[in-house]
Structure 1
Amino acid sequence: MNTSRSKGSSWRGAANAGRTWRGAALAALLTAGALTAAAPQAQGENARTETPVASTHPADGVVESVVRVKVPLPQSFGARPAACDWLSYLRYRAADGPSASADADRILVAQPGILEGAGAFDSVARDTVAQAAAQGRHIEFWALDRRSNCLEDPTGIASGDQHTAVDYYYRGKAVGGRTFAGFVGNDQLGWMAKLGIQQTVRDEYDLLTAELPDPTLRKNKVLCGGHSLGGVITGYFAAADFDGNPATTADAGQNQCAGYFALDTTISTDLADLSGSIPDDTNLPDIGLGYGVVQAGLDSGVLPRSLSAPVLLNPETMTLLAIAGLGAVQNPGGESDLLSTLPSNVNIETTNRFLFSKDAATFLTGSPSVKDFRLTNDAVLGALMDDNSVPLAFLQSSVGFFDGGPIIDKNFPATNGSSDNSLLFGVEYKAIPAQPHGPLYTWRNYDRVGAADDPGYRSADGTPFTNASKEVTDIHELARSMGEQPLDFTEQYFPTKLVTDLELATSPQVKQLLVHPGGLTANPTLTVLAGDGLLAGRVPAGLNPVIAPGYQHLDVLTAAPVQNDGRPEVVSSSLAAFAASPK
């Protein structure tokens, strides 16, 4: 494997040109239960649970379960919710395959990106397992949840009803006798001040050794990888030493894996490879500060322990993505009342204006409002996630296009045709419904774009907004991934320390974690890139990447099993083939 990289400027410098807005993500929901002292070391039968996951997904011969393993944090982390002493993942396997993971042919273990929970891997995990099974191989796919996702409260979403979820999270109504505890302040996140890259890779190691105790089995069967930031985390994992003695290498990260896979990322230890994939204008501290100063700020609470932004993507608004997904699962073609029934406050109002304004004047005046348009539940989800609608590249997928009425250009926050902010806003022209108080706007799914009845909507300059080759994700699969998973599609509490550690990679405190740098090249690597994604054209050809044409950053996880050209989905096909190859 060739590991040469284009370093250039840092990821922050590469994204500075023309930057006007910075998105941020990461909402936070606190599970029930008071903060507790560190739990004792896990032992006995209660140290692991596995629960089947029910889904409306069409039968594909794949079974899914949520696995939780008790792996307590060190006492030095201090008080935290009891749930945070457990690690969780979604386990996908063939229904006719072995029930024990150790008996699988291969096990793919995936680290999520900066905005993601385990649920984001649902489509690619299912399809990879199904494609391998069709070839006579029984593999598993483990979608990891970061430890900080223990803070999420899925009660409202788990009700299966969109209106119940809105009432639970925004109106204080109980579900099953439980009331939402509210969004959590920085003062309650002291334990996350220490949740950086060292603990993140340790969590993966501890989970692997707990679930697969045989080191030879891990070395021969486990494929380690991830999406977006997950590639950098995998790089640190590959170079890590876990027993404190560099002379003994059985515990080295590279020896827990038979190979690596990178999904719209690279297996690296350099954030420069991910320019544009980390949302900007968060409360991320100025990394002109040294490691010690940053850590002191996190420990004291002067610096925020989780990333957030005042509006757009924060604890309150990020919850809406799962709720929107739930509505599209329940009643995809029904007229949505979600956006009109939400509580009115500065955060939600500003977020709606940012996402649904056709130009700056509309954003400033708030007229017409998104509440003035009639949209189906599918159209609401599409507006929130599609690359022709949402103006944030790291949130974009290609799920189809608006339908049902006239469409116009969305020239806010960037003007269509401008490439100055492509890293931030994406390269596709943005569109928005044109008639308030008019027709019911529907959603044309990915596989109906370019059909005989497609109006072929165009921009004011004559450019088609999209075509069949640019649409790859089924909006209903996306809805299921967002609304049905027990581990969320989004990551609502992202540890600030994880990013600051990676930005301070040259500091002695972080650099010392790269004990076995040769681990980055010690195993075969599969790199798959989104053809229209954040890294398009910026990854060295020496990595021999597989290119997924027309894909956006999230499409490498969400694309449908059968594409518009009739071919099997390229990411899962590549992963299944990689899992079948000898080391």
Structure 2
Amino acid sequence: MATAPAADGTPGKGTTADSGTAAASRTETPVASTSPLTDVVETQVSLRVPLPASVGAHPEHCDRLSYLRYRSASGPSDSSSADRILVAQPGILEGAGAFDSVARNTVRAAAGQGRHIEFWALDRRSNCLEDNTGIASGDTAKAVDYYYGGAAVDGRTFDGFVTSDQAGWLSEIGLEQTVRDQYDLLAAELPDQRLRKEKVLCGGHSLGGVLTGVFATWDFDGNPVTKADAGFNQCAGYFALDTTISTSLDDLQGNSGDGDGFLNGTLLPKGTVPDTGLGLAAVRAGLRTGILPRFLGLPVVLNPETMNLLAIGGLAARNAPDAESTLLDTVPRNTNLDVTARTLFSKDAGVFLSGKPTIRDFRLTNAAVLGAFMDDNSAPLAFLQTSVGLFDSPGGGRITDKEFPVSNDVQGSPALFGTELKAIPDQPDGPLYTWRNFDRVGAPDDPVHRSKDGTPFTTAAKEVTDVRELARSFAEQPLDFTEDYFPTRLVTDIQLIDDPQLARKLVHPAGLTANPKVTFLAGDGILADHVPADENPVVLPGYQHLDVLTAAPTQNGGGREQISVRLSAFAAKP
């Protein structure tokens, strides 16, 4: 069972299998954090759970499953003694580190009510392909030198970003392996199925809600008559973070009925997920032969290099948020990074096409760079947006409307681009542009930057996430915020889940309603018109899709963050 490590960082009692297997079969390592919530303990747990031989050749370290474990410092060290354990599946292109804020907030909220819960943020196997060594150095310059300068960190040098041709084994990492991994991890950490049924709450964010629904209906022993192994009998309840607990993407079309597709158009830009029009067998053959890419990505904006750069940006913003950024001057000028920067930081189509001015021509603090790529008033893609504040310029720099890729006058596709007015600095080679954090929007010194029609770009009611906490989540987690090598097989399996080869595994459909459930919905997020009304969701005004994970524990106005309050209350129910 999961136990806390000893004070010296060595594994605690129970961290090795009783069968006498090597100590490395299970490790638990303390995670150092600068979080102000010092009464929450975080560790990284890693278990050896080998992939089946049918997967083929793969890196040895990919035979491990990992998760981030959060618990109250005043609570029991043994998971089996916790009051409840929340186990969370990440969304698409998302890693365990994305849950850091909501996990800490929820554990702390429960402890304040005298209950000790744990939050386990799962990391999928594909994350084993990421090399976080440079980020883990804690030094921005070292990280850049590691990934781009051939420098060694802790005796290791970077082997380069993995290509689809190098990741053939990912063609076998689909729905069945993903839910099996969750089952095996729970069974290893909590061997008593009755304890799992009593204490574990299963849930997830975004696509993680669908994965939880599939898990709930899955049969794990091949015998549908025996139900102790069924997914729903591993859980006492379900929680959905801007998603629904379902087995179908169609259920996330909800009230809109637009048919645009949850993945193609709502969560990801069109073209990210291959729309083959083929059956399950043909798609799998395409993945195995390499005709189809083994992991999701685009030539620019969404690929392993750009997501890794986002983590470096988070590191810079954590270490020196108010210092003038030099990050984009130190990384190489290549097509991927240059076109990505133009896509994310162009005032209008003319600037995008000409390439002038570029983001490198502006003086921005490290926090402003992170905000430019992640805030809902600047980031162009809705599924990447958080509500962390707005650009500012004490030196008087102009801030104007950002009209690319969609004009502020015409909201072309809210599910793709969001609904908030977009803003951008407008004086290259001018004054320093800073970042006004979420809790300073609407403060007495706020100049209230406005759109061309006089409307404020944002208000305090629209801001919920602390940019410093967002930076910390990117920079400090050993299992990082993003999933750079998300298996294509996982989403194509979900898209083709009605194929008999998959459907026959979902033999417990009643599992979706077998346990109590709570659903949280970002009021300004991409699913605001997609989640069915009969889900009775708790709606969070001002929240974007990622804010349900990253929102600050104390909100503007002094109120407590409501997901953590309500989720901890749900966990307290018998």
Alignment TM-score, normalising by the size of structure 1: 0.92
Q: Give the one of 129, 137, 150 matched to 1:172.
A: 150
* 1:509 aligned partner: 501
* 2:571 aligned partner: 579
Q: Give the one of 481, 489, 509 matched to 2:481.
A: 489
Q: Is 1:49–2:27 an aligned residue pair?
A: yes
**Alpha-carbon distance between aligned partners in 1 of 2:505 and 2:400, rounded to the nearest angstrom:** 51
| Residues 122 and 481 in structure 1, CA contact (< 8 A), matched pair in contact too | yes
**Alpha-carbon distance between aligned partners in 2 of 1:459 and 1:168, rounded to the nearest angstrom:** 41
1:552–1:283 Cα change, 3 Å: closer
Task: Give the drift of 1:277.
Answer: 4.0
* 2:462 aligned partner: 470
* 1:147 aligned partner: 125
* 2:182 aligned partner: 204
| Residues 106 and 138 in structure 1, CA contact (< 8 A), matched pair in contact too | yes
Letter in 1 for 2:240: A
* 2:428 aligned partner: 436
SS in 2 for 1:90: strand
* 1:480 aligned partner: 472
Letter in 2 for 1:472: V
* 1:12 aligned partner: none
Q: Is 1:421–2:413 an aligned residue pair?
A: yes
The percentage of counterpart residues that share the same residue type is 68
Q: Is 1:231–2:209 an aligned residue pair?
A: yes
**Alpha-carbon distance between aligned partners in 2 of 1:240 and 1:160, rounded to the nearest angstrom:** 41
Q: Is 1:214–2:211 an aligned residue pair?
A: no
| Residues 88 and 144 in structure 1, CA contact (< 8 A), matched pair in contact too | yes
Between 250-259 and 456-465, the greater mean CA deviation after superposition: 456-465
* 1:80 aligned partner: 58
1:310–1:42 Cα change, 3 Å: farther
Letter in 2 for 1:246: P
Q: Is 1:162–2:140 an aligned residue pair?
A: yes
1:252-307 Cα shifts (integer Å, max 9, x gaps): 00000000000000000111244244313445332410111101111111111101
Q: Is 1:563–2:555 an aligned residue pair?
A: yes
Q: Give the one of 102, 107, 127 matched to 1:129.
A: 107
**Alpha-carbon distance between aligned partners in 2 of 1:538 and 1:311, rounded to the nearest angstrom:** 28
1:78-112 Cα shifts (integer Å, max 9, x gaps): 11001110000000000011000000000000000
| Residues 37 and 104 in structure 2, CA contact (< 8 A), matched pair in contact too | no
Letter in 2 for 1:355: L
Between Structure 1 and Structure 2, how many residues are aligned?
A: 542
Letter in 2 for 1:514: L
1:37-63 Cα shifts (integer Å, max 9, x gaps): xxxx99443210000000111143100
The alignment's C-alpha RMSD in Å is 1.2
Gaps of 5+ in 1: 1-40
1:127–1:82 Cα change, 3 Å: same
Letter in 2 for 1:303: L
Q: Is 1:375–2:364 an aligned residue pair?
A: yes
| Residues 287 and 503 in structure 1, CA contact (< 8 A), matched pair in contact too | no
| Residues 157 and 483 in structure 1, CA contact (< 8 A), matched pair in contact too | yes
Between 276-285 and 230-239, the greater mean CA deviation after superposition: 276-285
SS in 1 for 2:188: helix
Between 532-541 and 71-80, the greater mean CA deviation after superposition: 532-541
* Match runs of 1:96-135 below 5 Å: 96-135=74-113
* Match runs of 1:324-335 below 5 Å: 324-335=313-324
* 2:259 aligned partner: none
Q: Is 1:448–2:440 an aligned residue pair?
A: yes
* 1:7 aligned partner: none
Letter in 1 for 2:285: A
Letter in 1 for 2:418: G
SS in 2 for 1:80: coil
Q: Give the one of 221, 225, 245 matched to 1:267.
A: 245
* 1:308 aligned partner: 297
Task: Give the drift of 1:537.
Answer: 2.9
* 1:5 aligned partner: none
**Alpha-carbon distance between aligned partners in 1 of 2:53 and 2:275, rounded to the nearest angstrom:** 29
* 2:491 aligned partner: 499
| Residues 520 and 540 in structure 2, CA contact (< 8 A), matched pair in contact too | yes
1:42–1:312 Cα change, 3 Å: farther
| Residues 266 and 527 in structure 1, CA contact (< 8 A), matched pair in contact too | yes
1:352–1:358 Cα change, 3 Å: same
Between 509-518 and 233-242, the greater mean CA deviation after superposition: 509-518
Gaps of 5+ in 2: 1-18, 253-261
Letter in 2 for 1:554: L
| Residues 93 and 485 in structure 2, CA contact (< 8 A), matched pair in contact too | no
Letter in 2 for 1:524: P
SS in 2 for 1:60: coil
Letter in 1 for 2:278: L
Between 380-389 and 534-543, the greater mean CA deviation after superposition: 534-543
Letter in 2 for 1:192: L
| Residues 287 and 504 in structure 1, CA contact (< 8 A), matched pair in contact too | no
Task: Give the drift of 1:176.
Answer: 2.1
Letter in 2 for 1:152: E
Between 307-316 and 214-223, the greater mean CA deviation after superposition: 307-316
Task: Give the drift of 1:72.
Answer: 0.5
Letter in 2 for 1:387: D
**Alpha-carbon distance between aligned partners in 1 of 2:492 and 2:429, rounded to the nearest angstrom:** 47
SS in 2 for 1:440: coil
**Alpha-carbon distance between aligned partners in 2 of 1:378 and 1:280, rounded to the nearest angstrom:** 26
**Alpha-carbon distance between aligned partners in 2 of 1:122 and 1:332, rounded to the nearest angstrom:** 19
SS in 2 for 1:550: coil
* 1:399 aligned partner: 388
1:519-548 Cα shifts (integer Å, max 9, x gaps): 000000000000000111332222111011
**Alpha-carbon distance between aligned partners in 2 of 1:101 and 1:549, rounded to the nearest angstrom:** 34
**Alpha-carbon distance between aligned partners in 1 of 2:38 and 2:541, rounded to the nearest angstrom:** 25
1:433–1:565 Cα change, 3 Å: same
**Alpha-carbon distance between aligned partners in 2 of 1:205 and 1:149, rounded to the nearest angstrom:** 18
**Alpha-carbon distance between aligned partners in 1 of 2:229 and 2:266, rounded to the nearest angstrom:** 31
* 1:458 aligned partner: 450
| Residues 42 and 70 in structure 1, CA contact (< 8 A), matched pair in contact too | no
1:357–1:349 Cα change, 3 Å: same
* 1:255 aligned partner: 233
1:305-332 Cα shifts (integer Å, max 9, x gaps): 1011111111211111110110011111
Letter in 2 for 1:224: C
| Residues 267 and 416 in structure 2, CA contact (< 8 A), matched pair in contact too | no
